[in-house]
Amino acid sequence: MSSRKQKFSIVSLGCARNLVDSEVMAGLLQQNHYDMVHEPEDADVVLVNTCGFIDAAKAESIDTIIEISRLKEEGKIKKLVVAGCLAQRYPQELAKELPEVDLFIGTGEVPKIVEILQRQEADANRRQYVGIPQYLYDHATPRVRATPSYTAFLKVSEGCDHKCAFCIIPQLRGPHRSRSIDSVVNETALLAQGGVKEINLIAQDLTAYGRDRKDGTTLLGLLKKMIEVPEVVWIRLLYAYPNFLDEPLLKVIRESEKICKYIDIPFQHISHRLLQRMRRGKSGSAVRETVEKLRDAIPALTLRTSLIVGFPGETDEDFETLLDFVEETQFDRLGVFKYSEEEGTAAADMDGKVSEEEKEGRWQEVMDLQATISQKKNKALIGTIDRVMIENIDSDSGKLAGRTQAHAPEVDGVVFTDGSEVSPPPKPGDIVDVKITDALEYDLIGEILHA
């Protein structure tokens, strides 16, 4: 390697779990005499950390790779590296179709990024470094966070042991493996000391955290330790499953001021027949019981879910049952995916394919219904006062934009306020009292209350 420090840039695609991997690679590179730059055209080495979950994500990844490759053709960058789920899934195919890419690195090779780059300079013929994912970062692993200073994603485990018929993630990320409580709490303390107020816990299955360790480690035990970290203000639970949502866990969520009354739990469907085909392990009645249990245990709960429309075999009757479920349940937050056929999954070989046109229509119908539900729920908040974490100035309206405990970063709506109401105006990361004065479909409008 030349004596001059090489510059690198990372383009991170996909989910927050992928973003943490990007942050770790940035930390490792920066620790090993690489300089980070934000714009790809200013870099010597550009890493594209890809998503390979569904067709739309794969298409975005390929488009981004091709776009960055043009910088290499123009001589603006020297090396193009493709990492992440798409590289893990299609290393041979990508290497053949994308000769302009210098390296393909799988999801388990994150800690070897510096070694692989150095090795490639000595042996440019080897382009693929893709193995069985076993890697798990810890509190001592360097990270260069891409999120604002006051909020961070913290990955407590990696991989997944579920056998959902539609999902390729276990093949891309390996079996479920959890960090120790000490490691997660140490990282929480380090983040908090660095100014982070909001910790967003992420995993493929958050409620399965610790079970693989067989030493008594559980999400409940972790939360009891995390809430003792003094500087942490909010702890948010993302990507939970119905498994292990027992009363002791719900009790600590309900009673701790630091734990957001917010649970993201993917139900996917309500039709018993479809849930069986999906290999979800829950009946429709069990899903309803879970919703009831959560809302009874945490009265102020914000409940987010994700659903799939157009899964093989979904009939008009199944879809109407799903619509009825959304109407009766009145989810606070809802994401809808159009089923994407993924080779290597059990669902790919199922009969009863649903046309793309039908998927689109069903998706739109659920989204329209949820927009109505969301606006009704937002209107009910007019006149209430809530704590809002200020994030930024909205470029369109010029107003301050922030989030309450009921709004997860990036996926939910925001609260708009006029910063001129107080002097000096609050800064990003400040938490202020806001009175809600108006409501949109997904966003809220309010005024900051004078202290």
Q: What digits encode the pLDDT tens for the residues 58-69?
A: 888 888 888 888
Over 60: is that where the pLDDT of 260 sits? yes
Q: What's the confidence (pLDDT) of residue 63?
A: 87
Average pLDDT of the residues in 429-451: 90
Q: What is the pLDDT of residues 216-233, one digit of tens each?
A: 999 999 999 999 999 999
- Burial class from Cβ neighbours inside 10 Å (0-12, 13-18, 19+) for residue 239 reads buried
Q: What's the confidence (pLDDT) of residue 425?
A: 79
Q: What is the pLDDT of residues 326-335, one digit of tens each?
A: 999 999 999 9
Which architecture, in CATH terms, is 385-448? Beta Barrel (2.40)
Average pLDDT of the residues in 139-160: 93
Residue 225 contacts residue 253 (beta carbons within 8 Å): no
Q: What's the confidence (pLDDT) of residue 296?
A: 94
Residue that is written with structure tokens 């709960």 in the block: 301
Residue 259 contacts residue 298 (beta carbons within 8 Å): no
User: Where do the CATH 2.40.50.140 domains begin and end in the chain?
Assistant: 385-448
Q: What's the confidence (pLDDT) of residue 94?
A: 86
Query: Nearest to residue 388, comparing CAs of 376, 406, 375, 374?
Result: 406
Q: What's the confidence (pLDDT) of residue 444?
A: 95
Residue 361 contacts residue 318 (beta carbons within 8 Å): no
CA distance readout (Å), 382 to 26, 195, 439: 43, 32, 7
Helix (H) and strand (E) counts in the chain = 13, 19
> Residue 19 is encoded by which pair of tokens?
């973003």
Average pLDDT of the residues of the chain: 90
Dihedral angle computed from the Cα positions of residues 307, 309, 315 and 319, in that order, rounded to the nearest 10 degrees: 50
Residue 295: band (very low, low, confident or very high) from pLDDT cuts 50, 70, 90: very high
Q: What's the confidence (pLDDT) of residue 291?
A: 93
Q: What is the pLDDT of residues 358-416, one digit of tens each?
A: 999 999 999 999 999 999 999 999 999 999 999 987 777 778 999 999 999 989 999 99
Domain 6-129 has CATH 3.65.10.10: no
Q: What is the pLDDT of residues 91-142, one digit of tens each?
A: 888 888 888 888 999 988 899 999 999 888 887 788 888 888 888 999 999 9
Q: What is the pLDDT of residues 280-293, one digit of tens each?
A: 877 778 889 999 99
What percent of the residues of the chain are helix, what percent strand, and what percent coil, each to the nearest 5? 40, 20, 40
Q: What's the confidence (pLDDT) of residue 450?
A: 67
**DSSP type of residue 268:** B
Measure the CA–CA gap between 291 and 286, rounded to whole angstroms.
Answer: 9
Query: Is the full-model pTM beyond 0.85?
Result: yes
Dihedral angle computed from the Cα positions of residues 354, 360, 365 and 369, in that order, rounded to the nearest 10 degrees: 120
Single-letter amino acid, residue 191: L
Q: What's the confidence (pLDDT) of residue 170?
A: 85
Over 60: is that where the pLDDT of 1 sits? no
User: Where do the CATH 3.40.50.12160 domains begin and end in the chain?
Assistant: 6-129
Residue that is written with structure tokens 């899964």 in the block: 311
Instruction: Look up the CATH number of domain 151-379.
Output: 3.80.30.20
* Whole-number percent of the chain with pLDDT over 70: 98
Residue 64 contacts residue 86 (beta carbons within 8 Å): no
Q: What's the confidence (pLDDT) of residue 3?
A: 59
Residue 297 contacts residue 251 (beta carbons within 8 Å): yes
Its sign, for the CA torsion 288, 291, 292, 294, is positive
Over 90: is that where the pLDDT of 151 sits? yes
Higher pLDDT, 280 or 298: 298
Measure the CA–CA gap between 287 and 208, rounded to whole angstroms.
Answer: 18
User: Where do the CATH 3.80.30.20 domains begin and end in the chain?
Assistant: 151-379
> What's the per-residue H, E or C state across 386-416?
EEEEEEEECCCCCCEEEECCCCCCCCCCCEE
Residue that is written with structure tokens 């993201």 in the block: 264
Other residues' Cβ atoms within 10 Å of the Cβ of residue 82? 28
